[in-house]
């Protein structure tokens, strides 16, 4: 409930702080005194849009702060979801800077207006005459019926399944779209896949083939140079081997005369061994050199195939071709297995739909069971409010479609006159009738749900006499379950309040300001007497005021 409202530098309010309590609180004041300003400030702190026109003094910032007791609203999970610190006494603060920038805080943590508005819907319901059009909103009508049907947990369960169903349907749609797109490319992708598969590409193959082809293309030069190298190595007269043999013999003969000669002789021997090995390899290489035109042609064809595939797929290596091959493999396999995946997804959808149908049937059954009770309570309340012939025709029509709150369509019709035809509320009910219907609805809701604080903004406009007494009685009954704040111009309603506040204007140093104060018992008598007889208060008005308060 709202415990305190503090306002600084807003509209005609310079500085104001007022405490509220449980039960029924009444706010009165002359026309133009600033009751709408008070509601404007409350709306601002609860998330309404703001601009510089809200500032009384544009050189200073405007601050509106509301302290609310929220321990009875089970909001811990919501605070966790929006990453806010939960406090049993939560403080919401809104600031408008002279620059026009607006900031909002919940327990000193900055929040967006969307979070603030979401929190607002759970804490305070500000009801004015123009909001009676909400009665024609199907979702609001369902909320009334579901409150009496005690459908809260069933609808919460249904919504979880509904979200799951929508997600599965979205996934199925995406799979089917992917399949359509993949099917369009399937034949071409399959052709490309098989082409690469038949090519049996190896990562290092190209480099090896290019080296072998280069060798085959230069086979004559290789053969000539190998032969000449062998000739230089093994020629009996000037060959390297014979020369090294002679050199080795010469140094061997003098090796014993000096350590130096021994080392040189050893080195020559090492060189001779190395040369002998080289000559042996040259002989083998020379013997193996054999030009095979078929081999060259085969290698050339293989390389040309690889080059063509690389060009076709806009890559420069076999490694990149293999990556494309893997991608094509996945695309082909995806199409070939898509039907199984889609069928599995459809089975999941059928399973969730079956469970959802069961919950929807329970919701629908509870709604049908609650209709007689809702109709009876609303008609009884409206009869007390001077609408003895008011009748409701409420019908539930099951459908095959899934909606966010079940599978029902709701027909919520009204007739204000005896023998009159039923019609939509907005078409057959007047403004005054809509106000009384909304009050009756709120009364029913307050008895069946944990409504937040409710503020009635002159909902009693256009009524008087005994009806005003009934309106006051209903508000009083509602205040036993919740905090009710009523802005009224009727003394019968004002007298029912546990607390009474007056909005008034005063002029200080030529500047008009709006203030709000809580009235004492004597001040309430005067205020109610003034509401009865005007500024010139008569003794009978005072007596009547006392009677109303008693």
DSSP letter at 133?
G
pLDDT at 32: 74
Of 143, 139, 138, 149, nearest to 369 (Cα)?
149
pLDDT at 378: 94
pLDDT at 176: 86
Q: Where are the domains of the chain?
A: 2-149+386-519, 177-337
How long a stretch of residues is the chain?
Answer: 550
pLDDT at 291: 66
The owner of tokens 């090796």 is: 255
- 507, β-bridge pairs: 512
pLDDT at 262: 87
CA distance 404 to 245: 103
What DSSP letter does each residue of 389-445 carry, written as one string?
T-EEEEEEEEEEEEETTEEEEEEEEEE-STTPPPEEHHHH--HHHHHHHHHHHHHHH
CA distance 466 to 141: 28
Per-residue pLDDT of 157-188, as tens digits, reads 999 999 999 999 999 999 888 888 777 777 78
Given a contact cutoff of 8 angstroms between Cβ atoms, the answer to whether 469 and 490 are in contact is no
pLDDT at 412: 92
Token pair belonging to 261 = 């000669």
Per-residue pLDDT of 75-90, as tens digits, reads 998 999 999 999 999 9
Number of separate helices (H) and strands (E) present in the chain: 17, 15
Residue ranges, the chain, pLDDT below 70: 129-131, 236-237, 291, 462
DSSP letter at 530?
H
Q: Which fold has domain 2-149+386-519?
A: Rossmann fold (3.40.50)
């Amino acid at each position: 409930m709202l415990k305190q409202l503090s306002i600084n530098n807003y509209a005609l309010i310079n500085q104001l702080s007022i405490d509220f309590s449980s039960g029924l609180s009444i706010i009165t004041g002359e026309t133009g005194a600033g009751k709408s300003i008070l509601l404007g400030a409350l709306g601002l702190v609860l998330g309404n849009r703001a601009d510089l026109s809200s500032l009384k003094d544009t050189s200073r910032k405007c601050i509106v702060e509301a302290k609310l007791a929220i321990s009875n609203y089970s909001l811990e999970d919501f605070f966790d979801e929006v990453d806010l610190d939960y406090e049993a006494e939560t403080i919401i603060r809104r600031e408008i800077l002279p620059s026009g920038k607006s900031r909002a805080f919940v327990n000193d943590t900055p929040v967006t207006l969307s979070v603030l508005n979401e929190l607002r819907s759970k804490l305070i319901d500000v009801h004015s005459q123009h909001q009676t059009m909400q009665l024609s909103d199907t979702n609001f009508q369902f909320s009334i019926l579901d409150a009496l049907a005690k459908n809260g947990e069933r609808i919460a369960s249904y919504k979880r399944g509904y979200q799951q169903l929508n997600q599965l349907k979205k996934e199925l749609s995406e799979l089917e779209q992917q399949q359509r797109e993949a099917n369009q490319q399937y034949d071409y992708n399959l052709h490309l896949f098989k082409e690469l598969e038949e090519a049996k590409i190896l990562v290092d193959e190209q480099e090896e083939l290019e080296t072998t082809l280069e060798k085959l293309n230069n086979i004559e030069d290789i053969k000539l140079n190998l032969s000449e190298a062998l000739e230089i190595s093994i020629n009996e007269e000037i060959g390297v081997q014979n020369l090294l043999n002679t050199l080795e013999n010469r140094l061997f003969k003098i090796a014993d005369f000096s350590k130096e000669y021994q080392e040189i002789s050893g080195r020559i021997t090492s060189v001779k061994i190395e040369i002998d090995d080289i000559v042996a390899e040259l002989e083998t290489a020379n013997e193996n050199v054999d030009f095979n035109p078929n081999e060259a042609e085969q290698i050339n064809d293989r390389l040309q195939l690889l080059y063509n595939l690389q060009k076709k797929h806009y890559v420069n290596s076999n490694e990149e071709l293999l990556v494309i091959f893997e991608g094509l493999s996945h695309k082909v396999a995806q199409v070939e297995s898509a039907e199984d995946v889609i069928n599995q997804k459809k089975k999941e959808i059928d399973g969730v739909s079956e469970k959802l149908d069961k919950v929807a049937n329970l919701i629908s059954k509870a709604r049908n069971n609650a209709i007689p009770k809702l109709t009876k309570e609303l008609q009884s309340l409206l009869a007390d409010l001077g609408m003895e012939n008011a009748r409701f025709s409420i019908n539930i029509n099951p459908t095959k479609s899934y909606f966010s709150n079940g599978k029902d369509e709701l027909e919520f019709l009204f007739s204000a006159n005896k023998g009159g035809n039923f019609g939509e509320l907005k078409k057959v009910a007047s403004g005054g009738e809509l106000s009384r219907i909304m009050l009756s609805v709120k009364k029913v809701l307050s008895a069946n749900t944990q409504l937040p604080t409710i503020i009635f903004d002159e909902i009693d406009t256009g009524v008087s006499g005994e009806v005003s007494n009934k309106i006051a009685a209903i508000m009083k009954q509602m205040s036993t379950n919740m905090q009710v704040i009523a802005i009224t111009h009727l003394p019968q309603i004002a007298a029912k309040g546990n607390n009474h506040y007056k909005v008034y204007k005063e002029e200080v140093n030529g500047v008009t300001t709006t203030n709000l104060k809580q009235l004492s018992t004597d001040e309430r008598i005067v205020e109610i007497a003034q509401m009865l007889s005007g500024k010139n208060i008569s003794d009978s008005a005072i007596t009547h005021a006392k009677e109303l308060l008693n």
